[in-house]
Amino acid sequence: MAASPPALAFLLKTRRKELELTLGDIGASLGLANGNFVGMVERGERLPSDDRLLQLAEVLELDGREMLGLKYQEARSTAAKVLFAPPAPEHPRLRRFLLECCENRDRMGAEFALGERTALERVVLQALLAYVFLPALESDRLAPRTLRERVRNVVRKAPEQPLDPWVLEEEAEYFVPWARQNLKSWAFDLPTLTLRIRHSADPGDISTLPLVDRELRDRMLASVDPSPPSRNAPVTLADLLAAEELSESDVQEILDLVEFKKFRAQQGK
């Protein structure tokens, strides 16, 4: 886990005290349950993502560009290594847990490493939450009470919204050990966009979950083409990204990256 540079940590702590704000105040402004994450950044124990750092800058009325400069200026690597290094995960403990129980870990690890929180990572986590963890949390009498109450409160406040992964990241010390007991492993098949969930050691205790069903595919195609959709029409990557409610610029950026990686792969051959 990367640490905050001393200069950045000192600036954040000094400015917070100037504004007479508590760690809890800052955490609440960032939509967090408490100030634990902010305190870890101030102590140099955690390095915030660029997006989170810019949010901190706005709350503390600081120059976001200056804070990004402090984040990277003490890096010992060359500028190229810093710029092209995989971004730090937004939810490091959740990502580590997901990859630990992933059957095709190398492939998924490479996909997840493309961003702080990739669309694929978000889809997998939300599917596991909906089909494994949230139902088990309600039915398992031995589930951690702190975790159950925290999740219930969040869901009660926004019942129509997917559970914010930050809740589980902050409660990872309770969530991860419990979740390991409710999930044996998972695997994601990219060609078919299918998630396979192995619930236990029982060979038959497996669920296969298509993440894009026929009805959703037809709705996606109908949204861009008023003509009746072909039942055999392939779903494109652009369709899938748009279904994740990403902006047009984000979709295009991902498509450009895919094309670049294909080009590099062809050169390698």
Distance CA 102, CA 53 (A): 30
With a CB cutoff of 8 Å and minimum separation 6, the contacts of 118 are 111, 112
Distance CA 268, CA 177 (A): 42
Distance CA 164, CA 259 (A): 31
Predicted local confidence at residue 216, as pLDDT:
56
Residues of the chain with CATH 1.10.260.40: 6-84
pTM: 0.55
Predicted local confidence at residue 229, as pLDDT:
43
Predicted local confidence at residue 98, as pLDDT:
95
Predicted local confidence at residue 160, as pLDDT:
84
CATH class assigned to 6-84: mainly alpha
With a CB cutoff of 8 Å and minimum separation 6, the contacts of 57 are 63, 64, 67
Predicted local confidence at residue 263, as pLDDT:
67
Predicted local confidence at residue 228, as pLDDT:
45
Three-state DSSP state, 102:
strand
- In which order are the strands placed within the sheet that holds 185-189? 185-189, 194-198, 206-210
Distance CA 74, CA 8 (A): 10
Distance CA 178, CA 15 (A): 38
Taking the CA atoms of 242, 215, 224 and 262 in sequence, report the sign of the dihedral they define: positive
With a CB cutoff of 8 Å and minimum separation 6, the contacts of 229 are 217, 218, 221, 222
CA distances to 69, 89, 113, 130 from 86, rounded to whole Å, are: 18, 9, 6, 29
Distance CA 88, CA 81 (A): 13
Predicted local confidence at residue 161, as pLDDT:
84
Half-sphere CA count of 61, side-chain side, radius 13 A: 8
Helices (H), the chain: 6-18, 23-29, 36-42, 50-60, 64-73, 79-84, 92-100, 105-112, 119-128, 134-139, 145-157, 165-170, 172-180, 214-224, 237-243, 248-268
With a CB cutoff of 8 Å and minimum separation 6, the contacts of 53 are 64, 67, 68, 71
Rg (CA), the chain: 21
Which residue ranges of the chain lie beneath pLDDT 70?
1-4, 74-86, 212-236, 263, 265, 267-269
